[in-house]
Every structure is written in structure tokens, then in C-alpha cells.
Structure 1
């Protein structure tokens, strides 16, 4: 029967959704570890079919258990072999010592717990039942929940009338987006009321111990769903549709019964910690089980509806246990000391929305008493709201709106802090500046006004996040002051209170390769854990038992916090002598390897994006350092190498249709190919630009003299036009060797599809259609020796703005930096990062469409940084890479073009590198002097190539410095482009200025020229009269900066479209400064550009 209700595809899809959810849940490190253990034990098959079969058999066995067998399994001590249920205890708050003096000495002794949190500790099988329930039962219940609920909103397919869960990885809408909407909508409504000259009251309520206060009747849940499905069957005239509903009902019955038993067992397990649950008829919601979010929303749906019916506020929103209301013109008695209680009594108690907690009922005279009142949600006796947690804001529309405006500005400032790249100057300031805040009683200029020195969790978290980001793109410079401040901060009371930041601390020390500080940090935390006691606030609990659970679970959490970042480099050596510490860090290393195998670590920190899905990550028994890239590791010819290569052979059913890549894996970059198991089990959506970057590395590394010799021997002798294979004849990877670089985006898309889509039902039939939504690259020969690549970048961007804002980077390209890259020791210093960060931030502030940097201005390892910025901020970036020297001794001068693509809610980028066709004479001498090979001098048959980009209604091409000197190459795109970009490192500005001046007239387009600042002549030029030709021109300056200009492309096209007589008429009437188009200017091409069509 189970085979009829569930199949391999359903179970695998549920597993992917489960893994995706907890990958992004920063609070669930222990569940990440549980998933990693599950995969290490159960999912070792290298082929997709084997993984699906194994996963299905595990869940099928679980579903077949009867009630008695379930309970035996849930209570078993065999945590890995059988489905089980238990719980974790973690601290919620510690009791802060009240002192009559201010000190910087941390509170480290007798750390008293004030409140605790209970989380379910369940096997992966249990979590999968929760996900399956959401997939089948959740989609019916979610439409019964009001739109005023913002948390745990299922991601439904809006195009499907049945409202099915979306295909792919997501189950719930992203929590951070929903939380912002919940909060921002309230502020927006309040502002609207004030603008309408209405007073505003904002009320915030908090439900105490929300999840464990729920009493859920699964019998009623089943009945509700049955009624919904029966109604759908009754309304349907389609037999197939009716059968689908009936099948869903059968699935839901099975899943509801199993989920109900999971809740019951969980309740019994936590009675020792929450004995108050003993008398309750139904079980609470386990925190950490994905279904609990939607069930909690459904449980309170009647209360939510009553709020709308009885109060009808301008805004009501609930985010889990936080309720927010916005009211117009409410009466507030500001003179009474119990204003909040009076407000709740008048508007909530009197309308049967809240009731006084029976233990706190007394007459109205007691309103002036200081003890806080407790309220229950009417009809929900366990749902308690304390008035001391209630926040009430009242704004008179005639008075100052400073509080609301300041709060809104603070939110905007926080967003901008993460919108922009970190300011490296601020990052060199003390950690203490961010992690501590001072509270004053009077003027901030009076020392005696200091009331309290308090720790700032948000500030500490922000500092660590920015520090991690910046250091991941640079050298491992020492920052002893920050290191010591971090270690000092995370001690005692603060170290335990901020345990959710432990992973960030460990990550920072892992990426700076500072094992000794990880050891120090661990010792501080373990010492603090040992000093925990349980306060007297909860007299019903066994304090010794609670203390034991908390200490054990915090130690587990510490191991997980270290292991997750350690997965990036499990080979870090911890210099410890005590056996206890050796065992601790060895266990962390073993956990880290399991986490690496399951990919449940921070992918963004790997040196090469998506390298964690390749065989490279398996080198040295999964111990390779993913924070750096060592090309020599790819050339291991041992027997181990052959075994690894065998793992990468993909199941033929899951290879991109008509793939040209082949799976023979004979090249030396075989270890950079995706490993079937890692790719298919990815917990996250891998963006196209990530795979694109990895394929760039593959292509560059693969070119060596041996490859060239093979290529030469396979080509015909004769002139260059005869020797070069026609693009239309290219069918295999071996034939692509001649133009491997231009094939990168197409090859990348095949691997991108395998990782993200091959596992989905009917994915193969949609593969080509999906690629057409992203881009299409077609190539043709021009005069037998030039390949013209037409790069049609598509996406679904709704912007129709043709004119483009261009940012020119006025930056000095240092000869010393060029030499460092030639010697394979590029300058990645803090100062250099700061310079680039500042330029990118300024381009973002100016809302530029395209940011351009000179030739040889960026180290090749920062492709990832530029792609990240393009993807995050939706900006195109063009830059010249410093010489990239591969193991074949080739020196590549690449021009980099990164163009963002918007598709649905995703933004990614296509990254196109192009090899410089004409190395300058001095450049060649420099490279040859370092015994390096120049590609086009060595690969005689290698054709020149240029790109014509079609992106967001504009057409342009990019030239690399000395290429401008080739008079024939300059004329390739006459009438086809709106603008040309020329990136230069050139001292002969006079000659190139003349080229630029003639080019804009002869090709009749805008010209964007970017040179190193000390040579200058960076400018935007238009095909206009001399006095109006330069839109921007700049040279020199001690500081690096940007200049922004706008290309009026629509005006240019409109002018180009008409014949000479009408152009002349506009010029004579002073309606334009543009010069007439040159002879033989193809106006049909102008029409193609205006209509946003493709050049074939």
C-alpha cells in the first residue's frame, strides 16, 4: 500500500526540502549534524538511482511500523539505526548579576540559568514525516489561515489552481523576507494614518512559551482536512482530479496518525522538564519540527479571525508568537499608571479577545498596583500574555514623529550595512566599539553619567560577519587586537548568552588559519559551561537534571559550532597535549568531515564557488582545504586518483540532454568535475554564476603544451582559415579545445542543470527551454580568422530602460601588482580590498547599470568577489584581470564581463572571459622575460574572438587595450552596437585618444574608455561635435574614485535610424550635437536594436 501512496520521487523531494530548510536555519546546528550523520550512514551510493532507492526503503520501513513498533523505536537508545525521539535543552536567558558599580570584569562564576528552551532531538526519518505532512496536508490547511500570518507561509505554486507546493527546494517562504514584511507593513500603515491626520496607536503583544502552550487535536485536524477535500471532490468534474484528492486523503490519514504519535512521544519525553504538561489532554508542538510552524498558525486561526471581526484594526500581523496592531484614533489614558492594562481591558478583554488570567483576577481598584497582570487568549487557556511584555506606542498626528522616524531610519541603516561591502577602515577599529554599548543617565560628555556597559549581540554579530567576509578575499593578515578582544568578549555570562554566535567566532578563526585561538575560545566556553547552575525561579524542576542536560547539550552545540566551519578545512592541526582536548578536537574533525560530505557548511567561503560539489573536496580523505586552491593537487596519478574519477561518472539518466561535455573524464581537471552524490544531494540552490566561475578555472587550468600538441595534430595543415574548425562542426569536447574559453558558459549551464534540476520529475524535457531563459551564445567566423560571439543575455527582467548609467573606475594600476600576479603571488592586501570595496559601494550608491575598471586591474581570484557583487546588487561589471599563470606556464590576459540575469525571484550572472587577441609588445617582452608562454603565439591555430553582448535592451562589445590598434578588428560591429568599452593599461594616451575619436565617428556609437589613473584619459565619448564629444574625462588623483555618466542610447538610435538629410536637418536646427552616420551604415541593424531583437 505504501508504494501506492508514496514513491521514490516524493520521498527524495521531501528530503531535499528538509535539507534545504535546515541548511539556512542558523539556530539548528545540531539538526545539521544529525542530517550529516544520516547521510554518512545511509546514503553512500554514488549514483542517483541508488540514493533514491535507499532513501525510499528507509522511509517505507518506517511507515510500515505499527504503533507499538513506533514507540519501541522512538524510545530506543540506538540513535543512528532506528528512528528515535528525544529533546535538547539550551539556555534562553541567564540571570544577570546586579551590581552597584560598573566594571569590565566578566561575570564567570556561578552562572545562573533564568529560562530554558526545549528543542526536539529526532532522527531524520521523523523530520521527513513532518515534511511529507506539510507537502500533502499543509497545502490544504494553509489556505484556511489568514493573510495576517507572516511566519511559516508555505511556498505554493500560484499558477496551479490546486495550490501545490512549489517544485524544487523551498517549503516555506524565506523567514527574513516575511519578518521584514510583517514589521515594515505595520510601520507603513502607521505612516499612512499620520499623513491622513489621524492619531496612531501601535500595540505589540508576546505569547509566552508559544509552541509548548499549544494543545493540538489531530483528530480535529484530520476531520478539517477531510471536509476540505470532500468539498473539492464534490466540486470537481474531473475523475483524475477526484482520484488525486482521494489519494491525498489516504496519504494524509497515514501521516497524521504518525505525526500525532510523534507529538505524544515528545510530550512524554519532556515531562521531566515540563511536568506542568502532565494534565493536558493533547500534546504541544515540538520546536525544531518543520510542521510545528504551520500547525501553530492553524491553531490560532480562530483567534486571528476574531481580531479582524471584533477590532478591525488598520493593521494586524502575527509572526509566530509576536502580535502587532496599528489602530487609528484610539483613546489612551496617559494619566493612569496602568495605561496598558486599561487599554487591553477596554479593547481586548471587553470584546472577548483576551481574559484575565484566573490567578491574577482582582477588582479595578488594583490597577495602580505594581505587579504585572497576565492575560490569556480567549478560548486558549494556555496562551498567556504578560502585560510587562506589552509595548504600547501612541503618536498624535500634530506632534513630533521623531520616534517612528528614528526607528525607521535605524532599520534602513541596518539594511545598508549589509547592502554595502564592509568598510575596512571601520573593521580595523576595536571589536569593542561594535560589541559594547554605553547607557547614560545624563550628558554623554560626563563620565559620571555612565550607568551601564552592556553587550550588544547585534553589533558583535555584524562585526564578525563583516570581518569574515573581508578576510575571505584576502591574505591572512594578523589582527591580534581584534582576536584578543573577541576571545575576551566570549567569556562567562556573555559567552554563554551569545552561544548562537559561537559558529561565527569559530569561522573567523578557521578562515584566518588560527587554530590556537580556536583552542583558547573552546577552553573559555567549556570553563563557563562548567560554572552553570539553575536558578531558584523554577521550583518544580530537578535542578541537577536541568544543569546536566544544559551542560551536555551546550557542549554538543560547541562541537557543532566548531565542526561546521572546520568542514572548510578539516586538516587544521590543533596543538593540544591533554588527551581530553585531543579527543574533543578529533571528534570535531570527524563531525566536520561528515558535514562536508553532506555539504551542510557555509558554501560562500570556499575559494572556488561550487568546488564543494567536485572530487577536489574528496582529496586527502576529504581533508583538502577549500579556503584555498592548489592546482598541483589535480595532478595526483596514484591509484586513489583512478578511484575518485570513477565516482564522477554520472548516471546517464541525469546528464544534460545532448551534452557535449562527455563523461570520459580524461583531462587533468577531472577532479574539478562534479561528483554525482555531492551534486544531487546539494542542500541549496547553486547559482549559475558559481558554476560559471568553477568552469573558468577548469578551462584555464586545462590548457597546457600537451593539450596544444594534441590539438595541433588533429588540425589540417594550410592557411589559418582552413585550419580552424568551423563552429558548426564542433560536436565533441576534444574539438572544443581550440575555443575552450568561449565555450565556458554553455558548459557551465550543463553542470548547473545537473546540480539543480536533474533530480526533479520530468526535468530533462524542460532542460533546453530553461537554458533559453538565461542566455544563448552563437558564434560565426568572420573572414576565416575571427570568431564573433553573439552573447544574448536574457532573463525576465522587467526593466525597459534602454539608457545606461556607466561608472568609470579611476584607479591606479600599480606595476608592482602586475609583477606580483606574474610571479603568482597576487596582492590581496587589506588596503587593496578596501580600495575595490569602496569603488563598488560608490557605484552602488549611484545606482549604476555598469561598472568598468581598467586592464590588468583585478587579481583573478577576485572574480568571485565581483560576481558576488553583480549578483547581489544587480550591476554589470567589466574589468581586466591581472595575468593568470597556470601550471602549463601560460600567461593569460583576460577581459572579464559579468552581466546579471533576473529570473523569477532569483538574480544570477553570466560571466564571460575573453582572451586578449593582441598582447602589447612591452607586455610580451615582460612575460617572455619571466619564461612564460603567450597563448596566441604558442597556439598558432587559436582564432581571435570578440563578443557582441545583448543585455537589457542594449548592445555592446568590449576591447582590451592593444586590440584597439587593429584597424580591421575595430570595424567588426559597425551599426550593431550602442557602445564600445575599451579597458586599457596604456601610456600612449595621445595615439589611443585619436583612435577613440575616430572610432566613435566611424562606428557611430558611444565609447567608454577606462585607463589607469596615472596615465589618464579615461572618458565617455559620443559621436558628436568636438565641444560636446567628451561626456566625462579624468586623469590622476591620489585617491581612487568613480565618475558616472549616462548614455542616451534611445536618442542615439532615433538619430541613426533616419537618413542623412533628416540628420542634417536636426543638426542645423540645433536639435542635436551628434554627427551624421558614416557611409554604408546599416539602418536595419538599428531597427533590430530598437526592437530588442537578436542578431543572427
Structure 2
């Protein structure tokens, strides 16, 4: 997705070639002015010219074999091959010896490759005309809805034209399941129908959007300029269709096509909502889910459909006498074929306890799959397990349905592989390549053996570019060459053993098999080449350079595998040439590594894919391209990340802009009132919305106010027992490679996953002092945010200039100041080193600990997170009696991350602090020393430890609950009541903001 645009709108691109986008964006003003002149001109012939329309390509859909059953009946089904490649080869060799059976059919999906001008025009149409159609859709249409502001007006500055797909999809699915559960709980019989339109985009004629009757129904109000734009856009859609073998349909890959397709089914929505009056009806693009009370006692799919036909005013009916498909045929869709094929429809008859069991089973599978996505990557203990895991994730048997509609094995295999690939992409970001090389090579070998083989590749082809990027970014050029060779071999196998077809292509205009396969092959290798460029390291290691020269920079690689005719003349397949192209893509935020990584602190992100700042391209004058408020916000952001003169293109038109949590890291004083206007300007420029006044900010009394939902009387704290080995500590001090890197990463992910998966959940997770590297923090924090868990963790030493290091605790705290759940990052320095810490830092590395941000007052900072008020002290800071005195009456709890061997001394300090501060003390020490606990000032001595842990050979968490409301009730009395807490100490005064109504006697 790429954002480019003039002063009042934003364009969204999907599936456009990266190098084409780069070429267009590098001359953006000229290209936009040229298009504007054509739009305003009298001549409209340009709209049907190939230069504007672009072209089309093919993507692998599936390999089917009509005679499979017949073949296996004769040749048997008991021969089992360990190698999918051997199984395919054996079957094809048997087929080649006879003409009795049809060849397997390789089916391809036609995809649009329209020009960038077409993308610009279509987005302009969406923002000027299309949003009016979208506004007519009711809430039952969940997918592909345009982004809007709170007042329901269109948001021209949003990232992308449509709402993110995941939340609407989950809402569509979950509300359907909830409707079934509610009805079954009321002892009703339920019938649920799921169906989708066959080849929806390919069979839709956009002429209906020029139909006066339809537009009157939509209450469309267009100016003369908008009417002209509307006519040009529909004309372009039809002209593009004529350039394809299908001679019909919408361009798949053009975002505006999704809006056109959504609106085409508006009468279906109205019919099912108003005439059927179901318990629930929802549509996600072309997938429908209908839940009704089964009062008619339906016994078959046909009965249900015919019952619906009678209430459809003849808009629904059978397509033929065989009753194999259903046609939706409203008066405005002449020339379109909107069909629901019976073989893909499902009807669920649910009643009583068995109905509840089935719905619960589906909901359980949804939860299990969602849990896999929520979890951090689980690195296999041995590289030998990688292939086994990949085969298990992509196997055909033993998979369970994760929703009502797509209860098929293919969907599960894709999801399983996607999760594994996501894990390996996380390893690439979090770990140095040499640390996990064996695991990665095992993954590539399994990918070649089990995925780049027929028929499996057609099911998982969409993931190929990501695997190629992974291999390139990690300098695995030997494996990359093997992947390319395997692709070439697979393409030849398709050509030799398969017939070819294009989905929805009319029978009267068949395409030659060889031409279809060759077009697909060329597109496949183009995507490989583009992925290599996007992910190519700006600085190759010595071994990586040798590997590239030996494996990739050979004439046969570039001529036999990737014909020069496929590429532009400027491309040079040399290390320097590819690095120049990678830097070009990076500057435009089109490379594998997001452009924003150049601005994040180096300790937070690996710099392997980030070119030198000198390679970044900038724009000098953007006043004619973007509105002033956007330019102001980007200018502020550029200043934050040390681009002080010109504005980088990657900031002006980002594809993956800074998230809110990262912005809190970039700003020097993110919570000062003086910074709020700058943050608001940057968020508007990057994200397209204005911040509310509820953003985290220090109040007049120096308390950091963090709005976060409703008042919670109790808080649940997960206290970790986590071990950082001494060698890891030394490596951090001396800035050398951590010998425990891989095992430590795997242990940490397992620990966090155990917290995420806890059935009752925790509100906070605390890790010890110096617990993890800074570049692991953000990924973990955002994962925990998805479960509503805030993270407080000690960060490894951050090295600054002049022999100084920082010892910081970072807190990723949830907040709802944006109107939706988000995360802010708070960073607090240890103000002075412990005595032994100071000595060891000097002895090992000659460095000294100095805080990046010394406290502005002698008192520790206080945080008000929602209703919960707490402070953080780092290990030896607890020994400072002035800090403890300053916190008395000010906080509900005190968090203390520690790396502390002197547990006996700290035992006395913690027990004393709980009584004299009169608050909950949450102490988290490294596991090798132990004594992590939650201590409270309870009147009964034996109840003062809410939890306490020590020792063990595995990392783990223990969860405890603290009742801050009960503590405040106790402290708000003029005289301490009899219980349940110890009386407040002499001189104790509760802060006014913590006072609540005391408990009656």
C-alpha cells in the first residue's frame, strides 16, 4: 500500500509493481499535473488507451484433476511417498503412458496490472463519488468499507481508503455465532446459511453505476465535475475489461473495484434484512452469513433457498433446472452473473445441546487459531524440527474448521503456513542472521521440498515473495538460487504435464496453454526479482559478497532464469546496481525494511537493511502537493529524526508510518505539555486523524496522567521469574555478541506466551532489571497490548557517547486517549549506579552510568495509569530513604525491577517499605537470585505476601491480585480502621487525588 497524492486526497495502491510505483513517485508533480490536464480536457479518448489502462497478469489459483478418483480406482491409493515431488512425478509418468485420463488442469486467476494513472483516477473517484455509494450500505455490509471520521464524513487523509480488514471480518463472524448461541440458549431451533458469490469480480458488469434508476435509489448527488469523473472511471473499467481474455469483470487488484463490487449487492442486503427479518444477516464482500429461526423445519438446502426465493420479489432463483446454483438478478445488474454455487454453500441445522456443542466447537477453533496469531514466535529447540513443523502446518489431513464459511482444509493449510512464515520473519528482525542460520536453512530446504512442488505451490504461491525476501535479507544466496531453480523446474512441470485455463474465461475464446503458462512464469520471476531488490542488504558481509558472486552473479542465472527482456534497461544485476535500487525503494518506503527504521534509535532496531542517510532522496518543495498541516507535521517529524533541511519522500508518502508507540520514543519530552501540539501535528500527518485532549501528559503537580478506560478496583500483576545469564550481562556491557542470544530469545517468547495464554489474564507483566535488549521490547509490548497487558521491563544497557551507558526501565502502558486501545512508551532512567554495578562497568568496559533524563525533582516520578497510581524504582534506588519518604501516601503500588544478589538486605527493605510507604510493593528480581514478590501492608503478618517466588530451572510467571480500592478506602479514613490493613504510619497523608469514600464501620 502506497500513499501518494495532491493537496486534498490520498491514493492507495495494492499489487502494483514496486519499481513502477518508484518511477511514478520520483516524478510525482509532473505525473499528477499531466493527469489533471487530461481530466480537465475535452478529449476523452485517452481513457481507453493502453498507456492509461495498463495490462493484466496471471496468478496461480489451483491445480485440479477431474479424473483423480477414476485414476486411483485403477492404480490404487496405497502408495505413499515421503517426497511430494516424487509423488507428482510418479503420477504424471503414469498419465503420460495413456490417453485414458485427462491431464491435471492448472487454473489461473486473472489479475490487473493497471497503470499508476489509473490507480490515481480510481482513488480520486472513491473520494469524490464512490464514498456516496458506500454511505448507502447498511451496517450488515462489513468488508471493504471506506474510512470515515467520527461525524461519518469521508477522511481524505486516512492511511488507505478502506478500514483494516481484520476487525470487520471478526465482527461479521463473531456476531453471527453470537446470534446462534443466543437463539439456542432460548431453546429455539436455528438454521444458518453460508454462501459466497462465484467469481464475483470477474462476472460483474460496472454499467449498473451509470443506471439512472439505480443512482436515484442511491440518492446520488453529483456536480458536473463529479459526473464527468464518474463517467470516465466506469468507461475505464469497461475498456480495461476489453483488453483481457475475459472481456468482462472488474480489475482485481484495483482498490476501487472492491467498492463497486460491494455496492452491487446492496439490494441483496435490503432483501435479506427487510423481507426475511433474520436473527442475523451479515455480508463480508461476497460472503454471506444468514441466521434464522428454523420455524419452517427445513430439511435440505433446496428447501431453504426456495423459501428465500418466495420472499425475494423474483430477484433470487435457480440458474437451471438442475438446481445447482442460485442467481441473484436485480433489475440493475444486466450483463452480470451473480451466482451462489450450491457446492460451496453450507446450511447448518442447529437445535438443543448438539447445536450448542457444534457452535462451541467452531468458536473454540476460532479461539485456538486466534491464539496462534496472538502468540510470539516459538523458535523450535532444534533446527531438525523446522521441517517437521512446516509439513505439519501444510498437511492436508487433521485440520479443523475455524469458521462457518471456510471450513475447508485449504484455508487451514494457508493459515498454518502463514503463521510459520510470520515466525521466521520475526526471527529475521529480532536475531542476527548467524544466530539462527541452521533453523533458517532448514526452513528453506523444507519450503523447496514441500511447497515449491505440484500441486502444493498453487495453494501457497502468494507467500513466495516473502520467502525470497527472507532469504535475501539474511544473505542466504545459495538457498535463494535453489529456490529459483526449483521454481523453474516447477514451471516446466506445469507446462509438460498440465493443461491450463483462466478462471471465468469464456469457452468461445480459449487461450493456448503455452501462452498462459509463459505469462504466469514471467510474472512469477518478476516478483522474485523485485523481492530480491527490495530486501537486498545495503552492506553485504564478506561471506555474503562471496556467496552472491558464486551463486547469483552468473550469466546463466540472469539470462536463462530471468530474461533481460522482462526488465527495464537500467537494471544492473551487480551488487552495486542492486544496492542502488534497494536504496531507491527504501527512500520511498517501498523496500523490505520500512523507512521509519532509519529514524528509530539504533538500539531498538537492527540496521542491516537500512542504507546510509546520504542515499535518502528528498523533496524540496511540497507546498503544491500536500496541505500545509500535513507538511508542518512531517517537517516536525523530520526534525525529530535529524533530517533538518529537506523532507524525505519516505516520510511524506509512507507505506508503513511510525506507530503511536514509536512516536513516544522519538520525542525528547513526549509527555510535556509543550510537546502536545507537535505530537498532534505529526499524528495528523502520518495517520490522518486528530488526537484528543486525553493524551498522556504530565499534570501541574508532575504526575504523568495516562487515560485508560473505566476504574478498576483491583489490578492483576504477573511477576516473572526470569533469568538473564551473567555472560549476557557482560556482553551487554562490552557490546559484544550475546552467547545466550538464541536460547534467551526462545525462553523469553515462551514466557510471554504463557502470560498471554492465561485464562484469567493479567493487567501488568513485570520483568527484572536489565532483562531484555531494547530491540525486543516493542514487539513484545505490542503483542501484550493485544491482550490488554501492560509491560514494565528493565532494558539492557544503552550505550551513549563519551563512555556513558544508561540503565533504563521501559513501560508500555495501555491507554484509550485516541478513542481506541493503544500503547504509550514511558522510559525511566536509573539515576545512579549501585556500588558493585559502578565498579564492574568500569572494570569490564571503562564506562560509567549516567541517566539520559535526570529527574527534575528529588522525588521519583509518579504515574497515574487510569485509576491506578504507581511509581517505579530500579533496584538499589529502593535503598534511598528520601525516595521512599517522597512516595508515602502518593501511590497505590511501587514496582521494583531488580538484579540483586543481596536478597536478605532487600527483604528487610521491602517489608519495611510496604508498611512505611503503606502501599503494595511489587519486587521482581532475576531468577538466579530470586525473592520476587508482591508485598502488602496487611494487618496479619502471614497475609502480607500476596505472592513470593524463588528459584527453579525454568522461567515462569506467577500472578497476584492487588485491591487498590480497598487500600484507598482504608487510607481515606481520618483514623485507620481495624482492618484489613496495618494502620498508616505516623505522619502519613494520603494524596488528595487518591482519596475515596471510606468504608463504613
> Would you call these one fold, judging by a TM-score over 0.5?
yes
Q: Give CA-to-partner distance per residue, 1:501-546, whole Å, 9 cap, x none.
A: 1123224324543222122112211332244346277753121432
* Corresponding residue number in structure 2 for 1:422: 377
Counterpart of 1:313 in 2: which secondary structure? coil
After superposition, the Cα gap between the structure-2 partners of 1:1089 and 1:847, relative to the gap in structure 1 and judged at 3 Å, is farther
* Corresponding residue number in structure 1 for 2:12: 18
* 1:183 positional shift: 2.3
Distance, in Å, in 2 between the alignment partners of 1:203 and 1:591 is 51
Choose which of 482, 501, 519 in structure 1 pairs with 2:481.
519
Distance, in Å, in 1 between the alignment partners of 2:294 and 2:627 is 68
Q: For structure 2, which runs of at least 5 residues remain unmatched after alignment? A: 97-102, 400-408, 563-572
After superposition, the Cα gap between the structure-2 partners of 1:826 and 1:566, relative to the gap in structure 1 and judged at 3 Å, is same
Distance, in Å, in 2 between the alignment partners of 1:654 and 1:412 is 43
Q: Give CA-to-partner distance per residue, 1:594-642, whole Å, 9 cap, x none.
A: 4323213566xx6xx932468999xxxxxxx9743699x98x9xxx59x
Calculate the TM-score normalised by the size of structure 1.
Answer: 0.75
Distance, in Å, in 2 between the alignment partners of 1:70 and 1:646 is 30
Choose which of 743, 766, 769 in structure 2 pairs with 1:831.
743
Question: Which sits farther off after the overlay, 83-92 or 305-314?
Answer: 305-314
Residue 983 (structure 2) pairs with residue 1076 (structure 1): yes
Distance, in Å, in 2 between the alignment partners of 1:418 and 1:888 is 43
* Corresponding residue number in structure 2 for 1:447: none
Residue 947 (structure 2) pairs with residue 1032 (structure 1): yes
Q: Give CA-to-partner distance per residue, 1:1011-1038, whole Å, 9 cap, x none.
A: 1223222211122333332222221111
Distance, in Å, in 2 between the alignment partners of 1:914 and 1:518 is 44
Choose which of 460, 464, 469 in structure 2 pairs with 1:502.
464
Question: Which sits farther off after the overlay, 535-544 or 819-828?
Answer: 535-544
* Corresponding residue number in structure 2 for 1:912: 826
Q: Is the 8 A contact 1:169 1:684 kept in 2?
A: no
After superposition, the Cα gap between the structure-2 partners of 1:672 and 1:1042, relative to the gap in structure 1 and judged at 3 Å, is farther
Distance, in Å, in 2 between the alignment partners of 1:176 and 1:801 is 29
Distance, in Å, in 2 between the alignment partners of 1:660 and 1:117 is 43
Residue 240 (structure 2) pairs with residue 299 (structure 1): no
Alignment of structure 1 residues 813-824 onto 2, 5 Å: 813-824=724-735
Distance, in Å, in 2 between the alignment partners of 1:297 and 1:980 is 53
Distance, in Å, in 2 between the alignment partners of 1:294 and 1:951 is 41
Q: For structure 1, which runs of at least 5 residues remain unmatched after alignment? A: 1-7, 23-27, 44-52, 77-82, 231-244, 278-283, 363-371, 442-451, 618-624, 696-739, 781-788, 1092-1096
* Corresponding residue number in structure 2 for 1:1049: 964
Choose which of 771, 775, 778 in structure 2 pairs with 1:861.
775
Distance, in Å, in 2 between the alignment partners of 1:779 and 1:826 is 45
* Corresponding residue number in structure 1 for 2:99: none
Calculate the TM-score normalised by the size of structure 2.
Answer: 0.82
* 1:262 positional shift: 0.6
Distance, in Å, in 2 between the alignment partners of 1:228 and 1:813 is 63
After superposition, the Cα gap between the structure-2 partners of 1:306 and 1:1032, relative to the gap in structure 1 and judged at 3 Å, is closer
Q: Is the 8 A contact 2:468 2:528 kept in 1?
A: no
Q: Is the 8 A contact 1:155 1:173 kept in 2?
A: yes
* 1:819 positional shift: 0.6
Choose which of 488, 494, 504 in structure 1 pairs with 2:449.
488
Choose which of 866, 869, 876 in structure 2 pairs with 1:962.
876
Q: Is the 8 A contact 2:622 2:631 kept in 1?
A: no
Residue 395 (structure 2) pairs with residue 437 (structure 1): yes
Q: Give CA-to-partner distance per residue, 1:823-855, whole Å, 9 cap, x none.
A: 212536232122222222233324212111122
* Corresponding residue number in structure 1 for 2:250: 285
* Corresponding residue number in structure 1 for 2:933: 1019
Alignment of structure 1 residues 876-891 onto 2, 5 Å: 876-891=790-805
After superposition, the Cα gap between the structure-2 partners of 1:980 and 1:910, relative to the gap in structure 1 and judged at 3 Å, is same
After superposition, the Cα gap between the structure-2 partners of 1:869 and 1:376, relative to the gap in structure 1 and judged at 3 Å, is closer
Q: Is the 8 A contact 1:222 1:256 kept in 2?
A: no
* Corresponding residue number in structure 2 for 1:535: 499
* Corresponding residue number in structure 1 for 2:406: none
* Corresponding residue number in structure 1 for 2:325: 374
Q: Is the 8 A contact 2:832 2:849 kept in 1?
A: no
Alignment of structure 1 residues 540-689 onto 2, 5 Å: 540-543=509-512, 544-566=514-536, 573=545, 574=548, 575-582=551-558, 584=562, 592-601=582-591, 610-612=596-598, 627-628=606-607, 670=642, 675-689=647-661
Q: Give CA-to-partner distance per residue, 1:711-764, whole Å, 9 cap, x none.
A: xxxxxxxxxxxxxxxxxxxxxxxxxxxxx6x67988987775555324799x9x
* Corresponding residue number in structure 1 for 2:321: 361
Distance, in Å, in 2 between the alignment partners of 1:470 and 1:861 is 12
Distance, in Å, in 2 between the alignment partners of 1:914 and 1:317 is 48
Distance, in Å, in 2 between the alignment partners of 1:1021 and 1:492 is 59
Alignment of structure 1 residues 112-123 onto 2, 5 Å: 113-123=105-115
Choose which of 756, 765, 780 in structure 1 pairs with 2:683.
756
* Corresponding residue number in structure 2 for 1:804: 715
After superposition, the Cα gap between the structure-2 partners of 1:348 and 1:677, relative to the gap in structure 1 and judged at 3 Å, is same
Distance, in Å, in 1 between the alignment partners of 2:203 and 2:466 is 32
Distance, in Å, in 1 between the alignment partners of 2:852 and 2:532 is 48
Alignment of structure 1 residues 882-1031 onto 2, 5 Å: 882-904=796-818, 906-936=820-850, 946-1025=860-939, 1026-1031=941-946
Q: CA RMSD, aligned part only?
A: 4.2
* 1:959 positional shift: 0.7
After superposition, the Cα gap between the structure-2 partners of 1:378 and 1:426, relative to the gap in structure 1 and judged at 3 Å, is farther
Q: Give CA-to-partner distance per residue, 1:926-952, whole Å, 9 cap, x none.
A: 111124232449999998773211111
